[in-house]
């Protein structure tokens, strides 16, 4: 059995685990990051693709006088600003509208969203604004008649690519990154403290990972890892399934999304622009972990009913893709509550055996979650961690404010490299979105044929596919088509068309 030694072993390479590994490398720790499947292969690639404070949490904070939810909104809004500045290749401002039926709605939403703007402080994205009936029709021409609306801004991002960049940047900074590497057991010293984890690959090869501290960032599977370390550990998580649909129709032709403020079960729904299609979501259904990634027919019916209600002219919406992901929600104390009422706060737990578990939380706040986790890690280390050093995410500039200007300067070079096809402007944007300032290097040493766009949905080319396999740990067609690019998440039939080509490249 091969032996490895590190300061910190992180189990789970979703958003939380990749963030912990990245921040730990910045602080001078030797790190190993292990993932049982693919990087971002679970919940972290199945979000609503929003960087947001949570309008629903803001409303609940006032209805329940819950300061914790208000603090969560404030923290998430600040982090929204961080990601929009740090990774402008993957994140952008998105304006959304809440339709109104009367002056009371307009006043109520206007006041609430004014506070939402204020809570973001200096990282704000502009003030919310009222829309007239005509302005609403122009933005969402197929929407059912409304008096007007209130528009506000949040962030939209590529969750899987950001997760991947965090993990790959940690690897570039010195971390050991392993995928398809499942932890099957722990080793202890005579005092019962964890000293190592044993992993197993898909081929049955086992390895020992000795570490000063072991962190559990396995999302909805965190309880299982906790029980592996301590069979008496009580369950802490509630799994809630969120189902999303992608419609072929572009219901948001002007790039403005729709927030449905209240469903019959108290949820909010989003209908968002998504690669020329429309992303609809999300449901919130308590489920078993084994069912977390399986969209149900009932939930699809539920979502489509609201699509038809708000866009009555769309009697037969065509679903081009569907997915579901399980959210790890902290089980509330003091009685049961539905998953839609559970605030998405996080918690860092240290078991007597030394296992540190990072549980709960949301995508937008993965960075403060990681820093809270490392504070618990540091308490077990023999010496304090170093101050964080600069480690720009792959594809970004050393100074975040220079990323966009440098991307602008790169476009002329990409134009010269890419085939002169109708897809070239979109292909340039796509390459910069995926690889940022590395886009030119991905295609520079390839043939013209390898740069030809393969799809009109997302103009991926063979050069990218080979890069994903060679440099980004992709080992299956799903890795390439669902997470390295988002083709399968946008149009599953188009992804199926390209699947044989990808599988040929994988041989």
What is the reported pLDDT for 247?
98
CA distances from 386 to 29, 234, 383 (A): 8, 34, 9
- CA 494 to CA 12: how far, in whole Å? 30
Average pLDDT in the 136-151 region? 95
CA distance 5 to 32: 9
In whole angstroms, what is the distance from residue 472 CA to residue 485 CA? 11
**Confidence (pLDDT) at 344:** 53
Beta bridge partners of residue 209, listed in sequence order: 4, 197
pLDDT score, position 129: 95
Residue 381 CA, distance from chain mean position: 30
Contact predicate 450/444, CB 8 Å: no
Peptide bond into 282 cis (omega under 30): yes
pLDDT at 302 over 50: yes
Residue 341 has pLDDT above 50, yes or no: no
Task: Give the pLDDT score at 342.
Answer: 47
Q: Which range, of 120-129, 177-186, 304-313, averages the lowest pLDDT?
A: 120-129
User: For residue 55, how many other CB atoms are within 10 A of its CB?
Assistant: 20
Q: What are phi and psi of 8, to 5 degrees?
A: -135, 125
Specify the pLDDT at position 339: 45
Per residue in 400-414, pLDDT (tens digit) is 999 999 999 999 999
- Residue 220 CB contacts under 8 Å (≥ 6 apart), including other chains: 42, 43, 237, 239, 289, 292, 326, 327, 328
Ranges 73-77, 189-193, 251-255, 450-454: which has the least confidence: 73-77
> What pLDDT was estimated at residue 332?
61
Angle subtended by helix axes 15-26 and 366-378, to nearest 10? 60
What length is written for the chain? Answer: 507
Weakest-pLDDT range from 101-110, 465-474, 490-499: 101-110
Distance CA 450, CA 443 (A): 8
List where CATH 3.50.50.60 sits in the chain. 2-44+161-235+340-378
pLDDT at residue 381 greater than cutoff 60: yes
Name the β-bridge partners of 357: 216, 349
Condensed to tens digits (0 to 9), the pLDDT of residues 469-497 reads 999 999 999 999 999 999 999 999 999 99
State pLDDT tens for residues 266-276: 788 999 999 99
The pLDDT of 351-366, averaged and rounded, is: 96
Q: Give domain 92-153+238-329's CATH architecture.
A: 2-Layer Sandwich (3.30)
Return mean pLDDT, the chain.
94
Backbone angles phi, psi at 15, to 5 degrees: -60, -45
Say which DSSP state 251 is in. Answer: S
Of the two residues 340 and 284, the one the predictor is more confident about is 284
CB of 484 closer than 8 Å to CB of 494: no
Question: In sequence order, what are the residues at sequence separation of 6 or more whose Cβ sits closer than 8 angstroms to the Cβ of residue 427?
Answer: 418, 421, 453, 459, 461
Q: What pLDDT shows up at residue 371? A: 98
pLDDT beyond 80 at 220: yes
For domain 2-44+161-235+340-378, give the CATH number: 3.50.50.60
pLDDT in tens, 112-122: 999 899 999 88
User: Is pLDDT of 465 > 90?
Assistant: yes
The token duo for 353 is: 């055996």
Position 221 pLDDT exceeds 90: yes
Choice between 73 and 271, residue whose per-residue pLDDT is larger: 271
Using a pLDDT cut of 90, give the percent of the chain over it.
86
Residue 63 has pLDDT above 80, yes or no: no
Q: pLDDT value at position 299?
A: 96
Give the orientation angle of helix 159-172 with respect to helix 15-26, to 10 degrees. 30
CA 67 – CA 467 distance, rounded (Å): 47
Q: What is the pLDDT of residue 334?
A: 45
In the chain, residues under CATH classification 3.30.9.10 are 92-153+238-329
Q: How confident is the model at residue 62 (pLDDT cuts 50, 70, 90)?
A: confident
Mean pLDDT over 377-405 rounds to: 97
- Among the residue ranges 8-17, 106-115, 244-253, the one predicted with the least confidence is 106-115
Spatial separation of the C-alpha atoms in residues 459 and 410, rounded to whole Å: 18
Neighbours of 384 (CB within 10 A): 9
Cα 197 to Cα 233: distance, rounded to the nearest angstrom: 18
- Residue 304 pLDDT: 97
Strand locations in 333-428 (E):
346-350, 356-360
Per-residue pLDDT, 54: 84
Average pLDDT over residues 175-183: 98
- Given a cut of 80, whether residue 378 has pLDDT beyond it is yes
Is the per-residue pLDDT at 338 higher than 50?
A: no
- C-beta separation of 480 from 468 below 8 A: yes
Answer for the pair 96, 154: CB distance below 8 angstroms, yes or no: yes
Q: Mean pLDDT over residues 14-33, rounded?
A: 98
Percent of the chain at pLDDT exceeding 70: 97
């Amino acid at each position: 059995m091969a032996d490895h030694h590190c300061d910190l072993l992180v189990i789970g390479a979703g958003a939380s685990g990749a963030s912990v590994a990245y921040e730990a490398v910045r602080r001078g720790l030797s790190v190993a990051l292990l993932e049982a499947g693919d990087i971002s292969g679970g919940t972290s690639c199945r979000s609503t693709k929003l960087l947001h404070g949570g309008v629903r949490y803001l409303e609940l904070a006032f209805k329940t006088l819950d300061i914790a939810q208000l603090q969560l909104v404030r923290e998430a809004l600040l982090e929204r600003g961080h990601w929009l500045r740090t990774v402008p290749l993957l994140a952008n401002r998105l304006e959304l509208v809440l339709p109104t039926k009367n002056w009371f709605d307009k006043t109520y939403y206007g006041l609430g969203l004014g506070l939402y703007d204020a809570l973001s402080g200096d990282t704000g994205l502009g003030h919310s604004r009222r829309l007239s009936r005509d302005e609403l029709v122009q933005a969402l021409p197929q929407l059912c008649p409304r008096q007007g609306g209130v528009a506000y801004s949040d962030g939209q991002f590529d969750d899987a690519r950001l997760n991947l960049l965090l993990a790959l940047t940690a690897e570039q900074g010195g971390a050991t990154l392993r995928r398809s590497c499942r932890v099957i057991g722990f080793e202890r010293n005579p005092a019962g403290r964890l000293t190592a984890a044993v992993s197993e690959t898909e081929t049955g090869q086992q390895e020992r990972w000795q570490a000063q501290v072991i962190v559990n960032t396995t999302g909805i599977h965190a309880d299982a890892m906790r029980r592996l370390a301590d069979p008496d550990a009580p369950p802490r998580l509630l799994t809630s399934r969120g189902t999303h649909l992608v419609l072929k129709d572009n219901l948001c032709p002007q790039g403005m999304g729709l927030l449905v403020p209240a469903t019959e079960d108290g949820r909010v729904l989003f209908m968002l622009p998504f690669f020329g299609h429309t992303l609809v979501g999300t449901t919130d259904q308590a489920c078993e972990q084994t069912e977390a990634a399986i969209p149900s027919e009932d939930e699809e019916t539920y979502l489509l009913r609201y699509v038809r209600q708000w866009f009555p002219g769309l009697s037969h919406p065509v679903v081009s893709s569907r997915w579901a992901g399980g959210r790890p929600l902290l089980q509330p104390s003091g009685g049961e509550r539905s998953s839609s009422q559970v605030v998405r706060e996080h918690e860092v737990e240290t078991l007597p055996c030394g296992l540190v578990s990072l549980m709960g939380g949301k995508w937008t706040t993965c960075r403060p979650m990681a820093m809270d986790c490392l504070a618990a890690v540091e308490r077990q280390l023999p010496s304090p961690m170093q101050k964080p050093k600069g480690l720009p995410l792959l594809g970004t500039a050393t100074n975040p404010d220079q990323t966009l200007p440098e991307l602008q300067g790169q476009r002329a070079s990409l134009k010269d490299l890419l085939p002169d096809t109708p897809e070239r402007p979109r292909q340039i944007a796509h390459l910069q979105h995926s690889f940022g300032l590395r886009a030119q290097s991905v295609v520079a040493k390839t043939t013209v044929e390898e740069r030809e766009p393969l799809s009109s949905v997302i103009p991926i080319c063979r050069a990218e596919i080979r890069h994903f396999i060679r440099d980004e740990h992709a080992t299956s067609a799903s890795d390439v088509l669902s997470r390295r690019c988002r083709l399968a998440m946008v149009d599953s039939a188009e992804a199926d068309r390209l699947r044989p080509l990808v599988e040929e490249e994988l041989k």
